[in-house]
Amino acid sequence: MSYQQASLGALTITLMLLAPTETNADSQSTKAAIAATTPCKAVLFMEKLAASLQTKLAAEMEKAKARTDEAAALAVAAAAAADDNKRLGYNILWAIAIQAQEGQVERIKQLDAVYAPAVTQLVNLSTRLRQAAMANKRIISSRGTPTHGAAPANGATNADASCKYAGWTQTLGDINCKEETELTGDLATANIQAEGLTKIPYPNTAFLNSLAADITAFSKGTPTNANAGSQTWVCSSGGDAAVGTIGQSHAIGTLVQPTAVEHGLTAIEITGANKEKNCKGPEQGTSTEERAKAVFLSAICNLAAVATESIGSALATTTTGLKSGAQAATIVKAAMQGAGLLSSDANNVDKATLEKFISSTFGPSDKAVEDDFIAPLDKVKLNYIANNKETTETPTAIAQGKNVAVALAFFSGKALKTDAIKNTNPDKEIKPTEKCEPDTKENECKKDENCEFKDGKCKLKEGVKAENDGKTTNTTGSNSFVINKAPLLLAFLLF
């Protein structure tokens, strides 16, 4: 807080005002800004715009919670998937959800960096506007005690007489800004938004930091004789109780009538042709008020640069979107590279290959992703053990509850157990020729040391064929098992 002073004729009045804080489009919102033509309207406009920004930021935080829950639900579904394709499909959706979650967090950071300074400036200006408007409606609450004296020492040393008013006070008036009467038409609350805002109301500097008054000095008879004691409103030769009427022969005094400073509210352009002029940055200006205005406009100008696109939900993924490459192209490409369907340096994905991969992963239906993967998240109930108690919930319910970590661990362990049992078959004899089928994919073929990929086909190595002709090979051993690790590894890497 600081004290702003205004010299009003021979009288100096001091009033405490809120100091400016130096911190760091025609759409309905712009029409609302233009309609804020009075201090009350401008005050309410600033307050509603600040509240709107805070509401939007809170809504984005709710979206972040939703993106987090979606990612958790898909992680649970991936861990609980009964087969590899189902697991891969959910892992792809999970990856999409993680990307959306990260994008939403980044969006909140960007919005907060812009919204927080704007809210601070809007609240500060609305407060200063309100106080300035109240100061312009101030009334005289006490005329103090008039005391006759000789020449005063504060600038009128040659005067023959003076009348000092000790304790003269003024009281701020009530501007009584009512939303129901002020926020109507173009200035309706629903119209006061940051989206499309190209102008912002701002008052004259003098309205914020100056006071005005009409001051009248008067005398009657011989001022030096207006020296009786116990005066009420004027220095006179006797007591004058009735304000406004001098009943004595000699008197001297002053009348002060507070007047209003013109607010000069104008809608300043923050985009378009005048953007460079009005949005120069917070370091502009030489006076306190000029810098305060520059800081305010800089913060509001930044609102126009905020991206309006929201981060989509992974649950909005469609089969058509994945097949066309319109959705999650980078993630699907990575999954195909991981599966050995694309080389590590592939730049483009053949449309037919992409469609085949999506169909084989999610199913042949035109809405396989929507019907067979996303819809079950709210319908299919899963059994798991949490705190030694069996629980049955949908993936969505698990994600929104307190046991998501326990459920993930349970289903991951269950998948490991299932794969271990499924892939364990001690002493099973497999002939090398059964392992190197011609139509085996190249990456799978090369995983077996007895096979080689040659002339577009998977074949048994010549030496192995000669060595093992008519023999059998134990591929697991009596005390070992093979686990299909790829889907689980993908799941854990993503999580």
**Predicted pLDDT at 492:** 36
Contacts 24+ apart (CB under 8 A), 357-364: 357/332, 358/319, 358/322, 358/323, 358/332, 359/323, 360/85, 361/85, 361/88, 361/89, 361/92, 361/335, 362/85, 362/89, 362/319, 362/322
Q: Find the domain containing 18 and state its range.
A: 2-305
Q: How far is CA 299 from CA 19, 131, 202, 211, 270, in A?
A: 18, 22, 13, 28, 10
**Is the CB of residue 110 less than 8 Å from the CB of residue 129?**
no
What 3-state class would DSSP assign to 284?
A: coil
In a domain, 293, yes or no: yes
Give the pair of three-digit tokens for residue 309: 């696109």
Q: Are 47 and 122 in contact (CB under 8 A)?
A: yes
Structure tokens at 122: 């809007």
**Angle 139-140-143 (CA atoms, 0-180°, nearest 5)?**
180
Query: Cα–chain-centroid distance for residue 47?
Result: 17
pLDDT score recorded for residue 251: 94
Closest CA to 160 of 152, 169, 172: 152
Place of tokens 């086909």: 457
| 456-477 CB burial, b ≥16 within 10 A, e <16 | eebbbbeebeeebeeeeeebee
pLDDT one digit per residue (tens) for the chain, 495 residues: 333 333 333 333 333 333 333 333 479 999 999 999 999 999 999 999 999 999 999 999 999 999 999 999 999 999 999 889 999 999 999 999 999 999 999 999 999 999 999 999 999 999 999 999 999 999 999 989 899 988 886 778 888 999 999 999 999 999 999 999 999 999 999 999 999 999 999 999 999 999 999 999 999 999 999 998 778 889 999 877 778 888 899 999 999 999 999 999 999 999 888 888 888 877 777 899 999 999 999 999 999 888 777 899 999 999 999 999 999 999 999 999 999 999 989 888 999 999 999 999 999 999 999 999 999 999 999 999 999 999 999 999 999 999 999 999 999 998 877 655 444 444 444 444 556 887 777 777 877 778 887 887 888 887 765 444 444 443 333 332 233 334 433 333 343
> What contacts 364, CB < 8 A, 6 or more positions away?
none
> Residue 323: its pLDDT value, please?
95
Bridge partners (DSSP) of residue 14 are 5
Cα 445-449-450 angle, rounded to 5 deg: 85
- What residues does 202 pair with on adjacent strands? 266
Residue 16 in domain: yes
The reply to whether 196 falls in a domain is: yes
Of 164, 172, 170, nearest to 140 by C-alpha is 170
**Domain annotation covers residue 310:** no
Look at the chain and report how many structural domains it folds into: 1
Q: What is the DSSP string of 94-120?
A: HHHHHHHHHHHHHHHHHHHHHHHHHHH
The alpha-helical segments, DSSP class H, found in 339-403 are: 351-362, 368, 395-400
pLDDT score of 221: 96
DSSP H or E segment with residue 148 = strand 145-149
108 within some domain? yes
Q: Which residue has the tokens 């600081």?
A: 2
Residue given tokens 């189902």 in the structure block: 86
pLDDT value of position 419:
54
Listed in order, strand segments (DSSP E) in 224-265 are 235-236, 251-259
Residue 151 lies in a domain: yes
Q: Is residue 232 part of a domain?
A: yes
Report residue 424 as tokens.
Answer: 């364990």
- Are 140 and 256 in contact, with CB atoms under 8 Å apart? yes
Q: Which pLDDT score is estimated for 484?
A: 39
Helix 39-80 × helix 486-494 angle, to 10°: 160
Chain-centre distance for alpha carbon 410 = 36
